[in-house]
A and B are shown apart, each in its own frame.
Chain A
Amino acid sequence: MNSTLPSGPAVRIEGLDKYYGSFHALRKINLSVERGEKIVICGPSGSGKSTLIRCVNRLEQHNGGRITVLGTELNDDVGNIDGIRREVGMVFQHFNLFPHMTVLENCMIAPMIVRKRPRAEAETTARRFLEKVRIPEQAMKFPGQLSGGQQQRVAIARALCMQPQIMLFDEPTSALDPEMIAEVLDVMVTLASEGMTMICVTHEMGFARRAADRVIFMDGGEIVEQAPPEEFFTSSRNERTRQFLSQVLGH
């Protein structure tokens, strides 16, 4: 990226606690993500993995501990929050494209109104990233006219148009038909190979093997185990991890 970067990790999470009412969703999480690092977070449903990445761009408010993103601490300062969200892109399970705008407008709106880029520049950027996710020909269509896989690729392009330094993926392929998963994962692998800092919540272990620097297993609101993918898949030490892996990889 062209902006001058403060040194230090991209994301640093220290002693993070999150409650939903009396339910303790995240327990004393510590995690540091280096610039350019690719992290895959997996774990059974309800283990807190989505909550964890949603805390990174403040879609969820944490109740204890510290989150520092790109050198800025996430607190109640709205300026900090907006500043961090500009630099952190997110891709959702259900795409969340804006249905009342064309694909192109979906990709242009945030750069124009948040980054105050002129329209022509926003359009050039949008078309470049639509090219990158391999659907430039769909630019003038509305999201409702696209398949799930195409919509998710538009969602990735929309996030990239803000030229973020970190990308969060919250189960990006879980709502897709099997034949569409590959096209989304291909885009993510390309992105990873270009050095983007990525935190992905996913059960796609093939993706973890190909692209991740580190795989994290969560259960019960805690990080149970983390290791590089080879080590994680072949010699995980924890019983819960092995059980989960046998369920995910078993079929």
Chain B
Amino acid sequence: MEMVVVAPPAPGRLEDLRRRFLATPLQALLSLVSLAVMVFLAWKLLNWAVFAAVFTTSGGPVACQAAAGACWSVIAARWRIILFGLYPFEEQWRSALACVSVVVMTVLSCIPAFWTGRRIALVWGAGASLYYVLMKGGVLGLPYVGEEAWGGLALTLFIFVTTCLIGFPLAICLALLRRSDLPWISRTTGLIIDGVRSLPLISILFTFAIVLPFALPQWLQGDKLYRVILGSALFFSAYQAEIVRGGMQGVPSGQEEAAMALGMSYWQRISRIVLPQAMRNALPATINQFVVAFKETSLVVIVGFFEILASGNAAYGTGDWRFAYVEVYAFIALIYFVFVFSLSRYGAYLERRMAVGER
């Protein structure tokens, strides 16, 4: 007799739901209660954020405060302060364009087609100089705006991108030095890395912004903003150096031996064989470090810079909109979310892309 083996029919979607949530009376009760609570919370949130909310500035702060829901009018009224800080009102289009140039530069340098030395240098060179000229002005008929007036999202992006641009190559140098065969080089580097990591970022920013000018000659000081960026890049690189070093330890020693046996020089071995594999190993931790660095830009408020969070404080803190801080923070949280979430998704894409050779 012939046996026909048939797989049991897959349960339909409704049947599946019933089995998961309504198997016993108690389970059914718990499921229903949970569902009710969730619907209730979702309704409350939606009602606050959308249905009972005020979106226009027509009624002014007073009408807005009287409404039962969220007062989004504060964003409509004050979004320029949040995004551009103290930047002169008539010139804020420059700040907006500068933001766009930083974002475009970052997005371009994330595309594999731009990963050659010349193209990436071109993108960064063009993006950075465009940002600088737009923000600072003083040329091409643009009125001069000093760094102390930069603020909001434009400043946050600038600090983040420059921190990474300076900190990342520095991290690779530190990681390589720490791996050196010469004990005095590796030990000194280790001491620097561990030293920087032992200090809070706030104290480093404070030192670079306030204390350093007393120690340095005038011509070496530069603007406070650039000293702060240097401090933040140093802090970033100390952490990132250890991440890179960890990634290098995951590359089998046979890889470097094979490269040596083929006659490759130290820099060829590092740049073509070791680092590409090390960076793949280090990718999840690296994305993490970028995310942390993005959020830590908010600490520059301690030395008097109005990055986006501080600008947000200013947006609701003066006068009529004092009650609307939740809405302002929700808006800023949304901006942070957009940037950090994109960063994470990009990291996931990179991981998938790099996993090709691992199969």
Decide if A85 touches B359 in the complex (CB within 8 Å): no
Residues of A within 8 A of B260 (CB): 57-59, 85
Q: Is B273 close to A, CB under 8 A?
A: yes
Q: Is A215 close to B, CB under 8 A?
A: no
Of residues 93 to 140 in A, which have CB atoms within 8 Å of B's CB atoms?
A: 94, 96-101, 109-110, 113-114
Decide if B264 touches A114 in the complex (CB within 8 Å): yes
Decide if A110 touches B264 in the complex (CB within 8 Å): yes
Instruction: Choose the segment among A37-45, A141-149, A193-201 that binds chain B (4+ C-beta atoms closer than 8 Å).
Output: A141-149
Decide if B261 touches A100 in the complex (CB within 8 Å): no
Q: Is B358 close to A, CB under 8 A?
A: yes
Residues of A within 8 A of B272 (CB): 109, 113
Residues of B within 8 A of A58 (CB): 260
Q: How far is the CB of A115 from chain B (nearest CB, A)?
A: 8
Decide if B265 touches A145 in the complex (CB within 8 Å): no
Of residues 236 to 276 in B, which have CB atoms within 8 Å of A's CB atoms?
A: 252, 254-255, 257-265, 268, 272-273, 276
> B254 contacts which of A92, A109, A162 (Cβ < 8 Å)?
A92
Decide if B356 touches A96 in the complex (CB within 8 Å): no
A-B contact count (CB 8 A): 72
Q: How far is the CA of A251 from the CA of B263 in the complex (A)?
A: 40
Q: Is A159 close to B, CB under 8 A?
A: yes
Chain B residue at smallest Cβ distance from A158: B262
Chain A residue at smallest Cβ distance from B280: A100
Chain A residue at smallest Cβ distance from B258: A96
Q: How far is the CB of B267 from chain A (nearest CB, A)?
A: 10
Q: Summarize B's interface: helix, strand, loop or mixed.
A: helix
Decide if A59 touches B359 in the complex (CB within 8 Å): no
A144-B359, A162-B263 are known contacts. Are A99 and B277 too (CB-CB below 8 A)?
yes
Residues of A within 8 A of B358 (CB): 99, 142, 144
A99-B277, A142-B359 are known contacts. Are A85 and B254 too (CB-CB below 8 A)?
no
Residues of B within 8 A of A86 (CB): 263
A142-B356, A143-B357, A144-B359 are known contacts. Are A113 and B254 too (CB-CB below 8 A)?
no
Interface size band for A: 20 to 34
Decide if B254 touches A96 in the complex (CB within 8 Å): yes
Q: How far is the CA of A101 from the CA of B357 in the complex (A)?
A: 7
Q: How far is the CA of A89 from the CA of B354 in the complex (A)?
A: 29
* Contact mask for chain B residues 270-288; partner A; CB cutoff 8 A; 1 contact, 0 none: 0011001100100000000
Q: How far is the CA of A162 from the CA of B356 in the complex (A)?
A: 27
Decide if B268 touches A98 in the complex (CB within 8 Å): no
Decide if B261 touches A59 in the complex (CB within 8 Å): yes
Q: How far is the CA of A217 from the CA of B353 in the complex (A)?
A: 48
Of residues 59 to 93 in A, which have CB atoms within 8 Å of B's CB atoms?
A: 59, 82, 85-86, 88-90, 92
Decide if B265 touches A82 in the complex (CB within 8 Å): yes
Of residues 13 to 60 in A, which have CB atoms within 8 Å of B's CB atoms?
A: 57-59
Residues of A within 8 A of B264 (CB): 110, 113-114
A59-B257, A142-B356 are known contacts. Are A100 and B263 too (CB-CB below 8 A)?
no
Q: How far is the CA of A82 from the CA of B358 in the complex (A)?
A: 30
Chain B residue at smallest Cβ distance from A87: B263
Chain A residue at smallest Cβ distance from B357: A142
A142-B359, A143-B357, A144-B358 are known contacts. Are A162 and B262 too (CB-CB below 8 A)?
yes
Q: How far is the CA of A88 from the CA of B262 in the complex (A)?
A: 8
Q: How far is the CA of A249 from the CA of B272 in the complex (A)?
A: 43
> B262 contacts which of A85, A100, A101 (Cβ < 8 Å)?
A85
* Best-buried of B258, B262, B277, B356 by chain A (most CB within 10 Å): B262
Q: How far is the CA of A110 from the CA of B261 in the complex (A)?
A: 10
Residues of A within 8 A of B273 (CB): 98
Decide if B268 touches A113 in the complex (CB within 8 Å): yes
Residues of A within 8 A of B252 (CB): 94, 96
Residues of A within 8 A of B359 (CB): 142, 144-145
* Best-buried of A89, A110, A159 by chain B (most CB within 10 Å): A110
> B276 contacts which of A97, A100, A113 (Cβ < 8 Å)?
A100
Residues of A within 8 A of B265 (CB): 82, 114
A99-B277, A100-B277 are known contacts. Are A85 and B261 too (CB-CB below 8 A)?
yes
Residues of B within 8 A of A85 (CB): 260-263
Residues of A within 8 A of B257 (CB): 59, 92, 96
* Contact mask for chain B residues 188-217; partner A; CB cutoff 8 A; 1 contact, 0 none: 000000000000000000000000000000
Q: How far is the CA of A143 from the CA of B252 in the complex (A)?
A: 15
Decide if B268 touches A114 in the complex (CB within 8 Å): yes
Residues of B within 8 A of A90 (CB): 258, 261
Chain A residue at smallest Cβ distance from B266: A78
Q: How far is the CA of A100 from the CA of B255 in the complex (A)?
A: 11
A96-B254, A100-B276 are known contacts. Are A114 and B262 too (CB-CB below 8 A)?
yes
Residues of A within 8 A of B357 (CB): 99-101, 142-144
12 A-B pairs with C-beta separation under 8 A: A85-B260, A88-B261, A92-B257, A96-B257, A96-B258, A98-B259, A109-B272, A110-B262, A113-B264, A114-B263, A143-B357, A144-B357
A interface residues, Cβ below 8 angstroms from B: 57-59, 82, 85-86, 88-90, 92, 94, 96-101, 109-110, 113-114, 142-145, 155, 158-159, 162
Closest 3 CB pairs of A and B: A96-B258, A110-B262, A96-B254
10 more CB-based (< 8 A) A-B contacts, given A96-B258, A144-B358: A57-B260, A85-B261, A89-B261, A90-B258, A92-B258, A94-B254, A96-B255, A97-B258, A109-B272, A142-B358
